[in-house]
A and B are shown apart, each in its own frame.
Chain A
Amino acid sequence: MRKFLSLFMVLMLTGLLAFSQNKTVSGTVKDDTGNPIPFATVTETGSKNATTADANGNFVITQKGNGTLTFTATGFNPAVVTPSANLASPTLSRNTSELSAVVITALGIKKSARSTGYSTATIPQQELTAAKATNIANGLSGKVSGLQINTVNNGVSADTRIVLRGERSILGNNQALIVLDNIPVSADFINSLNPEDIEDVTVLKGANAAALYGSDASNGVIMITRKKGIKAKPSVTFIHTTTLEKVAYFPKLNKRFGAGSTEPDSLSAYTGFYGRIPYENQMYGPEYNGGVVGLGYEKQLTRPDGTVFDSTNQIIYDYKNPVQNFFNTGITNQDGVTYQAGNANGSYFFSGQVNNTTGTIPKDKATRYTVSVGGSTVYNKFSSNFSVGYTKFVTDIAGADYSQGRPVYWNVLNTPGEVDIKKFKDLNAPFANENDWYNAYYPNPYWQIENSRVKTNRDDILGSLELGFKATSWLNFTYRLGVTASNYQQKNTKGGVTFSEYEISDPLGTGGTASSNPNGVKPRLYDRLNEKFIVQSDFLINMQRKFLNNDLDVRLILGSSINKSKERDLRAGEGVKGGTGELEIPGLYNQSNLVNPATVDENLYEVGKIGAFGSLQFGYKNFLFLEVTGRNDWVSVLAPENRSFFYPGINGSFVFTDAISAFKSMDWLTFGKLTASLTKVGNVSNVAPYALGNTFSQILGFPYATTSFSVGDRLANANIKPEFIKSREVGLQLGLLRNRINFAVSYYDQDVSNQTVPIQISSASGYTTTLKNVGNVSNSGFEFDLKLNPLVNLGPVQWNIGGNLALYHSKVDEIDPLSESVFIGGYTSGAGIYTIKGGPMRVVQIKDWKRDSLGRVIVDPRTGRPSATTGVVNVGQTLPKVILGLNTSFEYKNLTLSMLAEYRGGYVVYNNVGSATAFTGVSEVTTLTGRQRFVYPNSVVLQDGKYVPNTNVAIDNASNGSGFWASTFRTAGTPFITSGDYWKIRELSISYAFNVKNNKIVKKASVGLVARNLFTFLPKDNVYADPEYSTLGTGNGQGLSDENLSPPTRVFGATLTVGF
């Protein structure tokens, strides 16, 4: 630090000397809307004398002659101005085709784009909201190279996983940090924001760009800036959007065979087929024939007068497509208004939005209310800006069923094709209630929808405040305070059911739900309360001066940051610490109404972090830049002796087209920049609070009459240290043909060593896991961005095209001396996501068929059936190797058409829905052989010690008491591994802007049609689900999906904007 300061003082002194010159001209560089342009270059025309404006556009230049001044800024056309007296007020028109002039970097520090030595990207609001996505994350997908957004499920408030530049941490967090108005917020806040409130989103792609944010930023940062109003006359804008959501596709379904099981007693010795079992969920019955059959067995129905009679539900035995018919068209209505106004000294912004969504599952709904206020003022040396938003997000969706805890979709998938499901929507209709329901094992999905609800309510307040004080022309101070508070409440209510004596007696011996619950099922309740609070305060000192005839621009930023977060999580009821959450009185869903003593789990978390950082930047003649950064963190989660850690970084950029005269003569090459950076970032996000000491907990039903504490399974490591990410990056940026073609490429290489990994240890040690500093992962990739802007420009016709491409590579160099492989998640005895030494970061392992040396499947010479390997085998990586985004927009007069497509490729996914639906016979694959005997394709049998092609040993569909499809077929994971590749038409919009130039009241008006995920193209083998889906939610184990995830949807609708 001391060296730093003395260097600083030396530089100051030389600076003071340099100032004793003549005729100074000052002013502010502004754009054509009157906003200041930061960091414009001011040159005395025809000389080498030049300077740079500051972040607020203010400049002072010492002029030697009396000529004109030339103003240039990246992204703007140059302007030549003759100063009047000592003042100049240049206005630069925007050159929209160049890469944006100013970038906001970590901690809100503005830098000229040419001086940044690492990769960032900014998405302005109009691109974010082009297709009127309700969630900002969905609006980002496909738009930035290196950014992967997975929507891991479907529903009225689906979760997204946001990852930049692939995965680095084996078991820790890999998701990008979300920063709202310079305040880090937890990732789930992204669902709470109204996209219309957003000014822009800046993506700091890796540790290189994000280092100053400190230890949470190693995964890159999504910086969201809210609007603060514009310095213009007041304007009001109303936007209404209505979109419809329809299920896009289902797994391929069996449309030929109805209900029947695989049990041998239903097998007809005569036909070789299984007989129809009217109460089955499995579809291994006879082929549809249009005859009359009973749905369910004979039931005892009750007339309105209370008398009881016997009746069987007779139906026509043909396919009625219950799966498709069950789902609704969801509707989303977004109604928003914004008001903004301002003058030279300040501006403000108000907005409100109501967002109403109904889902594709009947009765699912969500409502989001957002109100936000922002503003900024400048008064002499003081400047301030603030924004405060309040969001209320309410969801009400169907919950798990009462018997097996299955989601609605699964119960729909278990509805045999002959069931006309909509007939049972009214629970008072005959055979619709749980006693009369045909299916012995699964409930009526409509009964579930009516009786099992998950209601959530979330209130968020997100406020931030920034104060600036410009002490002198070269020194200013900034103070920032941000507070985010969120309160989340969840209530799961499950209605109970009582069965009639007739049902309990189980006349057909089904072993179904009624007979295994003779006392019925009591209503149940689960409650959760979660409060989060984060406060962050930053203090920054910014010093900037020029030396050596203004050729050398030196900027020093010093700052500190204090962050404190608190969380309280309270859960009670069903599933909490073994509690049943059972209630006696139906409909009274209150914890005080529980049958058994309440079970409650409470968790508190508190984390404090302090950071001190500095950045020293040198700019030479505005074409060579160098920045050195350093940050020291102190974190509460580590032991006092480990809690302080320092990490440095360096980056530079070289605008060679300005520096080397040879390039200046090349007309076609307008702009060229080389960048390089090297950064280290410490990371403790994988160390949870309170992880340093062993714990004891009450287990196995304790407390009974006594309390008792068992030694925890986790062996604490008091000496855990932060993990460090080393990241290198080089880049090249080119502007060709007067920036009509913009091209950028960057290569990065990240190394994470000594990861803080909760590793599994031999249970014979007395514990099962411990946190260790082990593992070494390297991860590299190329990113390409290309913009043809415009590709065609013929007056009224303009066609732009752009694309981004990211190539990913990762390698696990070492995990731990104790383990070659880490299980990330999945099914412990079947398909799972693993990280394996020597391999890419995430692979899926499954049980394969036993094969001969040529890879042919070995079948049993007796039964014709293949068999699965005992252990699991690696079948490929689950992270895409390639992500490609293509966007194009076409303008003709007032009409704009734009489209965004995204491709991902080079990976595989495991679809457990395939296995689950093979068990139930719902999937099409089970019908492909017509349920007849068949020879397993490309199989071999052992003959005289040799494997010979199997031509005649057919799979005996009946052998061993269970059908091939429902049992053997599912023992290996191979049939359910598919390519994860896809092309998605992510966004499509057509908008028409009315000509309102002469209208005194209406300032703007436009209508448009929007669509999201309109088409998805999947390879032939993927007949199951969206490869983005994840059984493990937004966790690290991406690449597994299952039958509990709702089917994918497409969204389309219309939007109307009117401004006054």
Chain B
Amino acid sequence: MRRIILFLTILATALGFSSCKKNLLDINANPNTASYSTPQLTAPVAIENAARRANTSYISLGFWVGYYATSSGFSKPVETYTYDITSSFLATTWDNLYNNLEDFDYVESQAKAQNLPVYEAVAKVMKAYDYHQLVDLWGKVPYTDALKGVQGFSPAYDDGQLVYDDLIKKIDTAISIFKAPGTPNTINSSLDATKILLFGNLLNTSSSAFLTKWVKFSNTLKLKLLVQQSQIGRDAYIKENLNGLAASDFLGLGDDALINPGYTTATAQLNPWYGAFYKAYQSSGDTYNSTVASDFAVKSYLNTADPRISYFYTQDPGATTYLGSIFGDPSGTPKAAKIGDPSLQATGNAIIFTAAESLFLQAEAVQRGYITGNAQGLYEDAIKASFAYTGKSADYADYMAQPSTDIQWDLATDKIKLIITQKWFAMNGIDILAAYNDFRRTGFPAAPLSTDANSKGKVPVRLFYPQRETLLNTANVLAAGDVDVFSTNVFWDK
């Protein structure tokens, strides 16, 4: 019996691992991936990502608005040239935008908790920057319920207008923070030396130049969101929200909002626009080969002797002039011009917002009576800004001197059409989504429809919700209503 007790004691010892348990079991701290971050550490990737998405996601929309066409000899994007889109069309853009928004959400909430007001404001503005793209493409989208993680695996959808209105408020809050950021000394400046990529870094938070630029950018984004609503009878609302703002409050000549974290020729670190067309430095990919200039765009630029054509497109070495393909022509035009080499800079800047776009928006806002100012001056500055951006400043005067109804303010009967057409010239490969939005909102320019035999004969006015979303968030997608991509307009498109 005593032996039994002895054995049982041994057993008990063997089973009572209390001593080794700790070493054996408390080993679950992640040695591979960071398990915490800070607003300072997350803001840079979030801003870079925002620019990356805005710059590279909408190449296929560029076919619809007349910038691109299919090349000869390379497989063609069927959905694009028939307009017969499915739920996979731009589905990754949906995922990417929400992924990016989660980063800004983290920055916003952490910055608030850690009393880093400037970071909080930056996150608010950038959220508006991302969210408006979602609304512009899908109409009703998750907003109030979105980005809640564990609290909401299937967020409900909000009306596009509700989202837009709240974004305006968000931007206003951000602006008031930028104008009075409080106590910047709460920021550990040594950590922040190079962390914010847009308009410099946070060492400059005390510098009024930094904050002023963020205020201008915020106002410009707000202007964009408001001008977008020009067709739905909300002029009073728009005016109210733009009350007191003038040209000097927006991004103006020389104020291009660009970022460059230090793009290199290494494959992973290529400039996003370059990386969309090249699989590696100087090694072109399928998108490069299958995307050529459209006949419409080439003719439009050539008709106005626009020197910017050499920025947006590169003439085929075997061709005597710029050639473009007819959009939808299955064989494509041989020797059509490719995406312009000058726009494809492996280490160049990525775009958050160009001064040209801001000035076109201001011109339109003045023309529509939303703000006061000189519409013609703003319009001409906008073109000047575009020429500057594309490296053609020297040719600006000659271009403007041409007696064309597509150039001369005075010759144009429809000023809005003039502004939008010129904006279309300038936004080529720079803000394709803006061109698509303008096309839906104003109908300008009248880019020709695809000539493909299976073409649906009209350009979709919105997209299907991604299949993934339909599958994983079924009830809310159904609640958002039926979608006919040719007739279910987003709220600002009537």
Contact = CB atoms under 8 A, between A and B. Distances in A.
B155 A764 contact: yes
A829 interface: yes
Contact of B94 (A643, A689, A763): A763
B372 interface: no
A695 B33 contact: yes
Contacts of B147: 764-766
Interface string A568-596: 00000000011110000000000000001
B334 interface: yes
Interface stretch (A39-47, A180-188, A246-254, A510-518): A510-518
Given A5-B8, A704-B269, A818 B468 contact: no
Interface in B4-47: 4, 7-8, 11, 14-15, 17, 20-21, 23-37, 41-46
A150 to B, nearest CB: 29
B269 A562 contact: no
Interface stretch (A23-31, A225-233, A632-640): A632-640
Contacts of B318: 509
A699 to B, nearest CB: 6
Contacts of B15: 558, 560, 612
A562 B20 contact: yes
Given A610-B24, A636-B26, A689-B28, A696 B142 contact: no
B41 A709 contact: yes
A265 interface: yes
B310 interface: no
Contacts of A820: 471
A760 B91 CA distance: 15
B376 interface: no
A712 B49 contact: no
A66 interface: no
B146 A765 contact: yes
B469 interface: yes
A698 interface: yes
A612 B14 CA distance: 9
Interface stretch (B100-108, B114-122, B220-228): B100-108
A475 B6 CA distance: 13
B307 interface: no
Contact of A690 (B17, B20, B28, B153): B28
Given A263-B73, A579-B268, A762-B154, A708 B472 contact: no
B233 interface: no
A53 B330 CA distance: 85
A182 B265 CA distance: 53
A713 interface: yes
B317 to A, nearest CB: 10
A693 interface: yes
Nearest to B272: A700
A760 B466 CA distance: 13
B321 interface: no
A770 B8 CA distance: 44
A612 B15 CA distance: 7
A768 B453 contact: no
Contact of A578 (B1, B268, B471): B268
Nearest to A8: B4
A829 B88 contact: yes
A715 B152 CA distance: 11
Q: For the side of the interface on B, what is the size category?
A: 35 or more
B5 to A, nearest CB: 10
A692 interface: yes
A604 B28 contact: no
Contacts of A337: none
Given A608-B25, A761-B472, A818-B472, A710 B49 contact: yes
B261 interface: yes
Contact of A509 (B17, B99, B334): B334
Interface string B89-103: 000001100110111
Contacts of B153: 761-762, 765, 770, 818
Contacts of B7: 471, 475, 541
B473 interface: yes
Q: For the side of the interface on A, what is the size category?
A: 35 or more
Given A541-B11, A637-B28, A765-B155, A705 B35 contact: no
Contact of B32 (A265, A509, A636, A690): A690
A696 B20 contact: no
B195 interface: yes
Contact of A765 (B11, B149, B197, B263): B149
Contacts of B74: 511
For A710, A767, A768, which residue has the most chain B Cβ atoms within 10 angstroms?
A: A710
B422 to A, nearest CB: 33
B299 interface: no
Contacts of A766: 98-99, 101-102, 105, 146-149
B44 A708 contact: yes
B194 interface: yes
Contact of A558 (B11, B41, B197): B11
A765 B262 CA distance: 31
B272 to A, nearest CB: 8
Nearest to A510: B73
Interface in A980-1015: none
Contacts of B26: 636, 640
A654 to B, nearest CB: 32
B305 interface: no
B267 interface: yes
A764 B98 contact: yes
A136 B14 CA distance: 36
Interface in B396-411: none
Contact of B472 (A689, A713, A762): A762
A692 to B, nearest CB: 7
A64 to B, nearest CB: 28
Nearest to B23: A608
Interface in A936-978: 959-962
Contacts of B48: 700, 702, 708
A603 interface: yes
B410 to A, nearest CB: 47
A194 to B, nearest CB: 33
Interface stretch (B246-254, B280-288, B380-388): B280-288
B35 A763 contact: no
B265 to A, nearest CB: 7
B141 interface: yes
A799 B92 CA distance: 63
Contact of B284 (A516, A689, A870): A516
Contacts of A634: 17, 21, 24-25
A706 B32 contact: no
B49 A518 contact: no
A475 B11 CA distance: 13
Contacts of B236: none
A689 to B, nearest CB: 6
Interface string B463-494: 00000110111000000000000000000000
Given A711-B103, A766-B101, A602 B32 contact: yes
B102 A701 contact: no
Given A700-B45, A764-B469, A610 B261 contact: no
Contacts of A607: 27
Contact of A764 (B88, B263, B268, B473): B473
B103 to A, nearest CB: 5
B124 interface: no
Contacts of B23: 608
15 contacts: A560-B17, A578-B266, A640-B25, A696-B33, A697-B34, A702-B48, A706-B195, A708-B41, A711-B106, A764-B98, A765-B147, A765-B149, A766-B147, A766-B148, A961-B330
Given A577-B268, A763-B468, A765-B152, 19 more contacts: A264-B331, A265-B72, A509-B334, A580-B267, A599-B268, A602-B32, A609-B24, A634-B17, A640-B26, A643-B25, A696-B41, A699-B45, A704-B264, A708-B44, A710-B45, A711-B42, A760-B471, A818-B153, A819-B471
Q: Lowest 5 CB-CB distances: which A-B pairs, in order?
A: A578-B268, A766-B102, A608-B24, A961-B330, A708-B45
